[in-house]
A and B are shown apart, each in its own frame.
Chain A
Amino acid sequence: EIVLTQSPATLSLSPGERATLSCRASQSVSSYLAWYQQKPGQAPRLLIYDASNRATGIPARFSGSGSGTDFTLTISSLEPEDFAVYYCQQRSNWPQYTFGQGTKLEIK
């Protein structure tokens, strides 16, 4: 099983700041990594797929990068609605999809 480790567990920032979230895979997943945003009481929402492609309707302030084992989700300038939990997910080991444990982005 491919294990995804996200860091940090919690990130405290203010609106307008830049957020950098990391996801590390236990073995190479090539570029087959996605990012999701989840707000309390809601289902996850697909933000980024295949490491760097924004999903439909996702604002340009969200960007993804990386390949192999190290990936980054960047939010260029935080909006109030961006404070949520973020999960990475791999599809390299299809169909044994796995998710990271999440990074909580909270308001400082």
Chain B
Amino acid sequence: QVTLRESGPALVKPTQTLTLTCTFSGFSLSTSGMCVSWIRQPPGKALEWLALIDWDDDKYYSTSLKTRLTISKDTSKNQVVLTMTNMDPVDTATYYCARMASGSGRSNNFDYWGQGTLVTVSS
């Protein structure tokens, strides 16, 4: 069974760098077609896609945030890490990691999600 879990600090100060880890099980990021994304949701607001890493270690970022984001994976540990630099109070949100299974016969959408981790940016 597929599970994902986000971990990281609940509180960061403005200008600091946020590092979040997604630990998953039930699939391998070395399997063709497997991808993990980060998606965030400010309190009471809509979802925003941030970044994606695929089985081939290709990385993709939101155009509006790409200068601040870095995504990486450790296949042996079943982990994906997201860093976001220069944090601001507007970055306060619940951050989710989600799996995507891409390719023919698959949903090509975010079919499994972690429970999310709330990150507050405040001095």
Contact = CB atoms under 8 A, between A and B. Distances in A.
Interface of A: 1, 32, 34, 36, 42-46, 49-50, 53, 55-56, 87, 89, 91, 95-102
A49 B63 contact: no
B55 interface: no
A49 B109 contact: yes
A44 B110 contact: yes
A99 B109 contact: no
Contacts of B52: 95
A46 B110 contact: yes
Contacts of B107: 34, 46, 49-50, 53, 55
12 contacts: A43-B98, A43-B115, A44-B110, A44-B113, A45-B113, A53-B107, A55-B111, A87-B47, A96-B63, A98-B49, A99-B46, A99-B47
Contacts of B98: 43
A46 to B, nearest CB: 5
A91 B47 contact: no
A97 B63 CA distance: 10
A82 to B, nearest CB: 19
Interface string B9-35: 000000000000000000000000000
Contact of A99 (B49, B63, B111, B116): B49
Tell me which of B49, B98, B116 has the highest count of chain A C-beta atoms within 10 A of its own C-beta.
Answer: B49
A102 B44 CA distance: 10
A96 B108 CA distance: 13
Interface of B: 37, 46-49, 52, 60, 62-63, 96, 98, 107-111, 113-116
A42 B52 CA distance: 21
A96 B109 contact: no
Contact of A43 (B48, B62, B108, B113): B113
B4 to A, nearest CB: 9
A86 to B, nearest CB: 11
Nearest to B97: A43
Contacts of B48: 99
